Structure 1
Amino acid sequence: MTDHTTPLRGEAARTASSPPAEAPRFVAAVPHWLRVSLARRLMLGLAVALLASAALLVVLALAIGRDSLRRQHEAAAQRVAHLFEASLQNAMLKRDLDGMAGILASLGQSSGVTQARLLAPNGAVRFASQPQAVGTNAWSQIDGLCLHAGCAAPPPRLQWRPLPQGEQLQIAYPIHNQPRCAQCHGVASAHPVNGVLLVDFEPLPALNPVSAPGLMLVGAGLATLALFATIMGLTLRRQVTEPLARLATTTDRLAAGALDARLGQGAHGPDELGRVADGFDHMADRVQTMVGDLAEQHRFLQTLIDAIPDPVLVIGPDFRIRLANSAYTALVGQQPQAVIGQCCHRASRGLDEPCPSTLLHCPVAEMRARPQRLRSMMSVRRADGSAVEVDIEAAPLITRDGETLVVEVMRPLDRAVRFSQEQRLSTIGLLANGVAHEIHNPLASIRLALQASLRGLRAGDMGREELTDYLQLVDREIDRCVATTQRLLQMSQAPGQTLQPVAVATAVDDVLALLGEECRSRGVQVQVVIDPPGARVLADEAELRQVLVNLIHNALHAMAGGGGIDITGRPTPAPDGDAPRMGYELSVRDTGRGIAADEQSLIFLPFFSRRADGQRGTGLGLAICKAAVERFGGRITVRSEPGAGACFTLHLQTPPEPGDTAHGEDRA
């Protein structure tokens, strides 16, 4: 047969195929629909429990009804058998065989009876409601009944047999031998049973749930369960799901940042959910307090680092800025909110990738390998595109979680130069007393000499030789004033770009000439030993004098009650072991209070001040000394014991010998 069905095409085909595609999406959405709501899961669980209970109730009801019906059939069968037993015994006594046949025929025609048979003890059918059954043997249906001599009289046996039409009840009712029956059947001890009445009843029809009684039973059960489900649903909704929904809503508000979200007194009660609500509100109060404390601590921390004049950054291992002070935002010309959370290479250098480790000494990259303090120099780009060179001091900060943060303190080099110049000018101001003495005394001598010369010239009694002596005195004192002003000019000059050979003895003498009056006023004796007397070092003239002024000033501050200062210089072998090249050590030793051991590593840090006289210093003097000496290519060290004074030593380089060009380059 030919198939004339036309295949679906176009929109019709898509329409026909869409339901199977929609079904999986719907099925997949059901678990999510249930997961997002506790009330739905509870109602689903309750519905499943009710359906299972209803099914179990129906099964139990049917089972109980069937068992009750079977018991009723069994009781009726026994009554019928007992009724016909009397009639049979009467017919047996009369030997009325036709009457017995009639009794069996009448029993077989009774309502609910299929057939009735009277069996001999050996199983032979003697009488039957169905004539064709007479003469057959039905021993198999009474097997198990004890009918022979020596057995007690057996009770009636009820047996249910399965048939296609249903279960059929069969009763095997033994007719016991009685003394009056002994004439025909013998004594009861030898023949306890005269025969067995075997009655088959009509099959019991199976109970049908959809029948009227079954439907009534199922309907009553379902109505009861529905009432139970309604009461339970309302109770769960009022006592469980609604309080939990309020708790979930309040939790979402709290998580979204509404720290004042609370369940309120109306949601509290003496039960378990009420205690949960009390605990939630108490927890929310603590969270709000803790968040407020954290915010206040963050504000204090931000205010604290904003008070630091140097730019400060706290950077995470992912190169992102965690904290930045106002000095840093002012340095790069950006707003704080634009800096926090941004990568340091983006904020400081305008780069999309971390700084190349082969070109720059990146503190964050270095801390990953070795978490220790380090120093680096870098160019920072401002928002306007200009660049500024900064000196970076970095240190690791390990959090409680084991995360290593990097704290960077930046010092713009232009400001360092300005500080150095300001410190130099400040030192010149401190020298005012000594300068005034060095200039005032010569001026006073000049004035006396001029006044004496004028008096002699007016009186006309001054000779040529005496006038010459006065003029020579004036000339010498003017030289002293000029030398003092030259020393001040050398101190106030900005550092040069090129290192030059500087005479050590001359620099020391010039500084002591300016500080001589202060030393005398403080009762401090100064001893100077420069070996050799014409020793020279590579340095900047003004900066070396500045370093000596700072060291001698610190020594004077440490000896409020007087003491002594020893200034010594001696050549030393070059640190690199280069035999032809020598180094030079210039030491300033005092007999003051000394420096504590735990402070010796801090005294060269900027803004660290522990003056022995108790006055508040700027904390820049020794930092500038260290920076200047390192610019000379040298270093400065300190040895001190509390109460035994301190000794600062400058380890400097000497100028190259004529013809030695390996070390004659300029230093910027």
Structure 2
Amino acid sequence: MTGLTTPVQTPVATPAPQAGAGRWAAAVPRWLQASLARRLMLGLAVALLVSAAVLVVLALAIGRDGLRRQHEAAAERVARLFEASLQNAMLKRDLDGMAGILTSLGQSPGVAQARLLEPGGTVRFASHTRAVGSAAQAELAGLCLHAGCKPPQPRLDWRPAPGGDQLRIAYPILNQQRCVQCHGTADSRPVNGVLLVDFEPLAPVTPLGGPGLLLTGAGLATLALFAAIMGFTLRRQVAWPLARLAAATDRLAQGELSARVGAPAHGPDELGRVAHGFDDMAARVQTMVGDLAEQHRFLQTLIDAIPDPVLVIAPDHRIRLANSAYGALTGHDVAQLVGQACHRASRGLDEPCPVTLLHCPVAEIRARPQRLRSMMSLRRADGSAVEVDIEAAPLVTRAGETLVVEVMRPLDRAVRFSQEQRLSTIGLLANGVAHEIHNPLASIRLALQASLRGLRAGDMGRDELVDYLQLVDREIDRCVATTQRLMQMSQTPGQTLQPVALRPAVDDVLALLGEECRSRGVQVHIDIEPAAARVMADEAELRQVLVNLIHNALHAMAQGGRIEVQGRPAPASPESPGTDYQLSVRDTGCGIGPDEQTLIFMPFFSQRSDGQRGTGLGLAICKAALERFGGRITVQSSPGAGACFTLHLRTPQAESAGDSA
């Protein structure tokens, strides 16, 4: 049995969302939260938009790069064409022709400005005559044009301009063999000059023009087709099976144990296996819930068969199980008791019983998981109270939860001494009785054997025979006295009280318990004044009270000690004008704690110092007997300093004074 809870069909509680998930849920509309298909389509649309944006950016970048490469190739072709024209003009030393070539180049379509620079950076010829003679060393930065340098390659630079990006080509005109006469050798002068051409700004590439428009349109059409196919596939293969699975889950969570996903969702893919597993799990859950319900019915029937009231209580004080005997005792419906707090159902309290005022089994077992007994007053449904003796034990479930099982026995009448209890006490005195009878019988046997030997031999005198017979008579009197003590204790209590001599009653009890006192190493001291003191009581019950008190004292002194039995007339007071008597039994044992002194006179409360478990009825019987005598019993004790029980008894003079009044 793993637990004692009643199986109920309740919706499955969902875990509380985290802080981030809660903020996300608050920002998303409910219609979108309620459908996975909508969220998938929304995610797909967002992915398509992002893909389209990336595609447009890529198209623009690709278009721009293509245009730039075409522009750069055209620039290099133009530069090579004019390089040949310039070299021919240089060979002919036609300076005017060179100026005309630069002017013609500057007026070509797409060219903004053309200049021919010396290796030192001075403009020699230009399409705009005002630029001739100006310095342009910055445009030649990075080009090695001097002796010892490797002939540089043409350099293409893109610069931002008001109309768009502008291309500038710096085209070195290399020194050739045919130019040696004017410019020297190629080793000393590798470059004759640099042709610097600035082209018109290149218009920005837009998605709506040129190849960008074609590429963007084709990409968007492809994405739209992809989105349509993916949407249909997700809806058919994911959203629809998940919707059936979610519907079946909701029905199962609401208590419909027969809910199943169904055959259409059982495909060979992952979702099909999940649906098949869900149906198998639901079938097993339905079977397990049925088995648990059957076990619960059997368990309820089992505890209902127990004649004593039974409760099973959880650590939170909630009742897990109650049998019909408990319902009959308290007048409550057992079905309504399950789930209620025990202090509410049993005592009508809103809070748990205060552990400082009551011996609560749940609190005690929580602190020390062991069996215990306690007394408690329960409240019935009609408001009346019933006293019960509770025997509680811990029950640890497989989950580690410690439940408390309480078995109750109602105490409908005051506890008083019974014939069975008296005979049980006499059984406890068997050791002392056997010793008291065995020794006299052994002496009698020795005396008779000696007498028989003397008579057979004929050498025994009359005086010696008389001595042996007197010894036998004395030992027989001892046996008779012992049996009379037992007979007095086993008598049924009378209906009326009689004057009882205290000293003979005390002597008889100590005679029966003498052997146990000697075996435990306990010394007994008796001091009763006056010696002929008499009290009003039932002699058998008074002897039983003394036996119980002396037995308790012996149990409290496992290592030996001293018992003092003292009797004195009670001091005169308005309530007791010199007519009461006090008989005290004091020991040097372990003592009684303050918390236990209020509980020791309750029935079935047992806290023996020797570790043995008693009946818990001894002091309760003493209290009931003293109350029947018209007296009372009190205790004074502290831990480690022994205990003193005092019997407050009435004297015959007090009874006479009462009758006269």
Asked if Structure 1 and Structure 2 have the same fold, meaning a TM-score greater than 0.5 normalized by the shorter chain, the answer is yes
Deviation sequence 1:326-349 (CA, Å, 0-9, x none)? 222223333222111122333334
Deviation sequence 1:158-207 (CA, Å, 0-9, x none)? 22233343322122223334444444444555444443322211122333
Deviation sequence 1:551-603 (CA, Å, 0-9, x none)? xxxxxxxxxxxxxxxxxx973369997846865889xxxxxxxxxxxxxxxxx
Equivalent position amino acid for 2:125 in 1: F
Matched residue of 1:279: which SS? helix
Structure with larger RCO (C-alpha < 8 A, sep 6+): 2
Deviation sequence 1:339-386 (CA, Å, 0-9, x none)? 111223333344444445566544334434444333344444443445
Matched residue of 2:484: which SS? coil
Match of 2:26 among 26, 29, 32: 29
Instruction: Give the structure 2 partner of residue 88 of structure 1.
Output: 86
**Stretch of structure 1 that moved more, 68-77 or 143-152:** 143-152
Instruction: Give the structure 2 partner of residue 4 of structure 1.
Output: none
Match of 2:482 among 523, 531, 535: 531
Distance 2:213 2:335 in 1: 75
Instruction: Give the structure 2 partner of residue 514 of structure 1.
Output: none
Matched residue of 2:167: which SS? strand
1:409 aligned to 2:407?
yes
Deviation sequence 1:522-554 (CA, Å, 0-9, x none)? xxxxxx9771426522764599xxxxxxxxxxx
**Stretch of structure 1 that moved more, 195-204 or 349-358:** 349-358
Q: For residues 404 and 154 of structure 1, do their structure 2 counterparts lie closer, same or farther at Cα, with a shift above 3 Å needed?
A: closer
Aligned-residue CA RMSD in angstroms?
Answer: 4.6
Q: How does 1:144-293 map to 2 (within 5 A)?
A: 144-209=142-207, 214=212, 217-293=215-291
Instruction: Give the structure 2 partner of residue 102 of structure 1.
Output: 100
Match of 1:342 among 340, 343, 349: 340
Distance 2:244 2:59 in 1: 43
1:324 aligned to 2:276?
no
Instruction: Give the structure 2 partner of residue 571 of structure 1.
Output: 512
**Stretch of structure 1 that moved more, 327-336 or 574-583:** 574-583
Instruction: Give the structure 1 partner of residue 112 of structure 2.
Output: 114
**Stretch of structure 1 that moved more, 144-153 or 64-73:** 144-153
Equivalent position amino acid for 1:531 in 2: T
Equivalent position amino acid for 1:312 in 2: V
Q: Are the counterparts in 1 of residues 63 and 212 from structure 2 also a CA contact under 8 Å?
A: no
Matched residue of 1:203: which SS? coil
Distance 1:627 1:195 in 2: 127
Distance 1:149 1:366 in 2: 107
Unpaired runs of at least 5, structure 1? 1-24, 425-490, 496-503, 505-527, 544-568, 587-625, 635-653, 663-668
Q: For residues 585 and 129 of structure 1, do their structure 2 counterparts lie closer, same or farther at Cα, with a shift above 3 Å needed?
A: closer
Q: How does 1:178-577 map to 2 (within 5 A)?
A: 178-209=176-207, 214=212, 217-355=215-353, 361-413=359-411, 531-533=482-484, 535-537=487-489, 540=492, 571-572=512-513
Distance 1:212 1:26 in 2: 46
Unpaired runs of at least 5, structure 2? 1-21, 422-428, 430-478, 496-509, 529-541, 549-614, 624-646, 656-661
Q: How does 1:47-62 map to 2 (within 5 A)?
A: 47-62=45-60
1:306 positional shift: 1.0
Q: For residues 84 and 297 of structure 1, do their structure 2 counterparts lie closer, same or farther at Cα, with a shift above 3 Å needed?
A: same
The share of aligned pairs that are identical, in percent, is 68
Q: Are the counterparts in 1 of residues 25 and 33 from structure 2 also a CA contact under 8 Å?
A: no
Q: Are the counterparts in 2 of residues 539 and 632 from structure 1 also a CA contact under 8 Å?
A: no
Distance 2:41 2:272 in 1: 22
Instruction: Give the structure 1 partner of residue 578 of structure 2.
Output: none
Match of 1:123 among 115, 121, 130: 121
1:274 positional shift: 2.6
Equivalent position amino acid for 2:489 in 1: V
Equivalent position amino acid for 1:537 in 2: M
**Stretch of structure 1 that moved more, 160-169 or 385-394:** 385-394
Q: For residues 112 and 341 of structure 1, do their structure 2 counterparts lie closer, same or farther at Cα, with a shift above 3 Å needed?
A: same
1:252 positional shift: 2.7
Q: For residues 181 and 296 of structure 1, do their structure 2 counterparts lie closer, same or farther at Cα, with a shift above 3 Å needed?
A: same
Instruction: Give the structure 2 partner of residue 642 of structure 1.
Output: none
Equivalent position amino acid for 1:96 in 2: D
1:51 positional shift: 3.5
Matched residue of 1:531: which SS? helix
Q: For residues 271 and 542 of structure 1, do their structure 2 counterparts lie closer, same or farther at Cα, with a shift above 3 Å needed?
A: farther
Matched residue of 1:536: which SS? helix
Matched residue of 1:78: which SS? helix
Equivalent position amino acid for 1:246 in 2: R
Matched residue of 2:513: which SS? strand
Deviation sequence 1:482-526 (CA, Å, 0-9, x none)? xxxxxxxxx9xxx9xxxxxxxx9xxxxxxxxxxxxxxxxxxxxxx
Instruction: Give the structure 1 partner of residue 456 of structure 2.
Output: none
Q: Are the counterparts in 2 of residues 571 and 585 from structure 1 also a CA contact under 8 Å?
A: no
Q: Are the counterparts in 1 of residues 63 and 211 from structure 2 also a CA contact under 8 Å?
A: no
Matched residue of 1:367: which SS? helix
1:68 positional shift: 1.0
Deviation sequence 1:230-272 (CA, Å, 0-9, x none)? 3333333333333333333322322222222222332223322
Instruction: Give the structure 2 partner of residue 64 of structure 1.
Output: 62
Matched residue of 2:156: which SS? strand
1:79 positional shift: 1.4
Equivalent position amino acid for 1:533 in 2: Q
Distance 2:381 2:491 in 1: 38
Equivalent position amino acid for 1:571 in 2: L
Distance 1:26 1:345 in 2: 43
Q: How does 1:130-145 map to 2 (within 5 A)?
A: 130-145=128-143
1:61 positional shift: 2.0
Distance 1:212 1:406 in 2: 87
Q: Are the counterparts in 1 of residues 377 and 386 from structure 2 also a CA contact under 8 Å?
A: yes
**Stretch of structure 1 that moved more, 80-89 or 533-542:** 533-542
Deviation sequence 1:201-241 (CA, Å, 0-9, x none)? 11223334566765554444344333333333333333333
Distance 2:152 2:618 in 1: 131
1:78 aligned to 2:19?
no
Matched residue of 1:104: which SS? helix
Q: Are the counterparts in 2 of residues 166 and 203 from structure 1 also a CA contact under 8 Å?
A: yes
Q: For residues 39 and 529 of structure 1, do their structure 2 counterparts lie closer, same or farther at Cα, with a shift above 3 Å needed?
A: farther
Q: For residues 28 and 398 of structure 1, do their structure 2 counterparts lie closer, same or farther at Cα, with a shift above 3 Å needed?
A: closer
Q: Are the counterparts in 2 of residues 322 and 341 from structure 1 also a CA contact under 8 Å?
A: yes
Distance 1:531 1:181 in 2: 160
